[in-house]
Structure 1
């Protein structure tokens, strides 16, 4: 059935997507060994784009009446069914990834909307959040500048090749969560597997690549001027988030983040539970355990590494737990 033949209805069922798997020289095996992505025996996969409505790299719907369609095509049919009353985006506002870093990623920054408006108002800024899934004992992240570091000091250290002296960094362990607002200099350290929730944008300015050379002996291209223009030097260090806990019998809920961009809650349950009726689109990201999402007489398998989009109009949805589950619930701002 073509997309044009599908009639808009009051109910829009949950959507699952075919991930986009991306190789990287810093990638590893954990997207397959832990998150069950079909990467074969290769050991250099760095990213799995789980849900993307980015025009240059959309994930396609994997099953159901909209199989093979992009998210924008479905939203165009019935935006209110996706978002609920009072909210409307032509492009879905969030992008979900898993990232496996066996080496440090480049030190980078994503511009905010105000900086982009100066030269390309069609593009959006990018804030993001990381939830750590696995980490080596000595793994650390780089999140913001040390207090008091200004552009002159950062520039001097950049010329000397020792930018790390200006960076706020700290060790992380599974379960940690950090919010990286647009304009924050940051990098994922080696040995980390994480889930990333970000605004739908892929604009990245690399400031420093740890003095590494590529296979041809050349340094990686950098975007020093754009990066300096995008860094918020007033922000300073960015620390781990402190979850807000609510415990109800067999159901544990941690509010990890509430921002204007998106909110994230982490659920842990051994018993069935109903999805909250927020009249908003919700994204479910399964971190541990197995079960099913049951919605309008349809059932969707849930397992470690699975991502589902539950539209606002999906009704009477509940999660049936087989083995104790931990999952993230993400709601766009």
Structure 2
């Protein structure tokens, strides 16, 4: 098969917390009228799976391609029941629900699903003074948390963190969290839509929950809550760049890594060249660019995404670029080694996510 950049169908969520920032501020076209809370750029979630929309594979589901061509699509001998990365643009025009996602063990044991959801937020835009909740204060136990959630007194138990454009937060599964209002985010995560939330209304349309359902939701949340994680926002770490592009490693862990790369004016700088042997989710955070590959090229408009199969191997990005690249990392080869080469110490690297703080890192 001659592989090429894949353009996918994009589920759109019009939840009550959304606004118009994705079309109006990011410039994404083709979206429906009304609030747009989330665009699922790459999704293999049950019931919300993407289809390939271009080229010889048009009409194939991402699930079918993952199952029939795992090495060529995902790479490195990978096998699994679903494509492993879920990516989204999210408009927290209003605050999101206070919620959490189960870890892998809870997803398998309590939900009958193959995995839970660790995620990371890269802040694209936020107003001065914006904050987010992430994790609980030290000393908060289950009884104290239950009391606060029943009283909707989130500030007494949850850590409030300042939010700034350009920063990233790695959120381990089981961590209570929320961002918004007026916060625009690019999110990368494990492929899962499992969550438990503490609100008295449905996030889809704002309709109220009855008392019994709301209390049952809180008990389910407490069963999957992990008290230990207290993540912090991080500006990312500079990556080596022989071609003059400006790159930063935004976050990394066992489930994903996320980088952001910028190039200057197309007339004065070389294209951004990337070689890879694992699937790459390429999302555009800036002006339109052209993605060149062995057999041709593909345009990538504002706030659009291409999925690059592992077998494609190499691309060039032409134009003044501002792009996000998410992938399944080899933590030593893809994260520790280039960051050490750029002069970063072990503590700075470990702060990017999970699994990076072992001896010798």
TM-score, normalising length from structure 1? Answer: 0.88
Match of 1:166 among 132, 157, 163: 157
Does the alignment pair 1:229 with 2:223? yes
The CA deviation string for residues 210-238 of structure 1, in whole angstroms up to 9 with x for no partner, is: 999x7666569531111101111122x22
SS in 2 for 1:31: helix
When residues 151 and 280 of structure 1 are mapped into structure 2, their CA distance, relative to the original with a 3 A threshold, is: same
Instruction: Name the residue aligned to 1:6.
Output: none
SS in 1 for 2:310: coil
SS in 2 for 1:257: strand
Instruction: Name the residue aligned to 2:80.
Output: 89
Does the alignment pair 1:309 with 2:303? no
Tell me how far apart the structure 1 counterparts of residues 276 and 207 of structure 2 sit (CA, whole Å): 53
Tell me how far apart the structure 2 counterparts of residues 83 and 211 of structure 1 sit (CA, whole Å): 35
Instruction: Name the residue aligned to 1:3.
Output: none
When residues 303 and 55 of structure 1 are mapped into structure 2, their CA distance, relative to the original with a 3 A threshold, is: same
CA RMSD of aligned residues (A): 2.3
Q: Which runs of 5+ in 2 are unaligned?
A: 330-361
Correspondences of 1:42-81 after superposition (within 5 Å) = 42-81=33-72
Tell me how far apart the structure 2 counterparts of residues 121 and 159 of structure 1 sit (CA, whole Å): 27
Instruction: Name the residue aligned to 1:107.
Output: 98
Instruction: Name the residue aligned to 1:295.
Output: 293
Deviation at 1:18, TM superposition (A): 2.0
Contact map agreement 1:142 1:189 (CA 8 A) in 2? no
Tell me how far apart the structure 1 counterparts of residues 273 and 120 of structure 2 sit (CA, whole Å): 22
Tell me how far apart the structure 1 counterparts of residues 218 and 70 of structure 2 sit (CA, whole Å): 39
Deviation at 1:35, TM superposition (A): 3.5
Contact map agreement 1:108 1:186 (CA 8 A) in 2? yes
Instruction: Name the residue aligned to 1:327.
Output: 323
Does the alignment pair 1:30 with 2:26? no
Q: Which runs of 5+ in 1 are unaligned?
A: 1-8
Does the alignment pair 1:244 with 2:242? no
Match of 1:207 among 198, 204, 225: 198
Deviation at 1:68, TM superposition (A): 2.0
Deviation at 1:161, TM superposition (A): 3.0
| More displaced stretch, 96-105 vs 26-35 | 26-35
TM-score, normalising length from structure 2? Answer: 0.82
Contact map agreement 2:72 2:311 (CA 8 A) in 1? yes
Correspondences of 1:114-263 after superposition (within 5 Å) = 114-209=105-200, 221-222=213-214, 223-235=217-229, 237-246=230-239, 248=241, 250-263=244-257
Tell me how far apart the structure 2 counterparts of residues 122 and 217 of structure 1 sit (CA, whole Å): 27
Instruction: Name the residue aligned to 1:5.
Output: none
Instruction: Name the residue aligned to 2:280.
Output: 282
How many residues matched? 319
Deviation at 1:209, TM superposition (A): 4.9
SS in 2 for 1:184: coil
| More displaced stretch, 269-278 vs 66-75 | 269-278
Tell me how far apart the structure 1 counterparts of residues 174 and 206 of structure 2 sit (CA, whole Å): 30
Contact map agreement 2:133 2:161 (CA 8 A) in 1? yes
Instruction: Name the residue aligned to 2:354.
Output: none
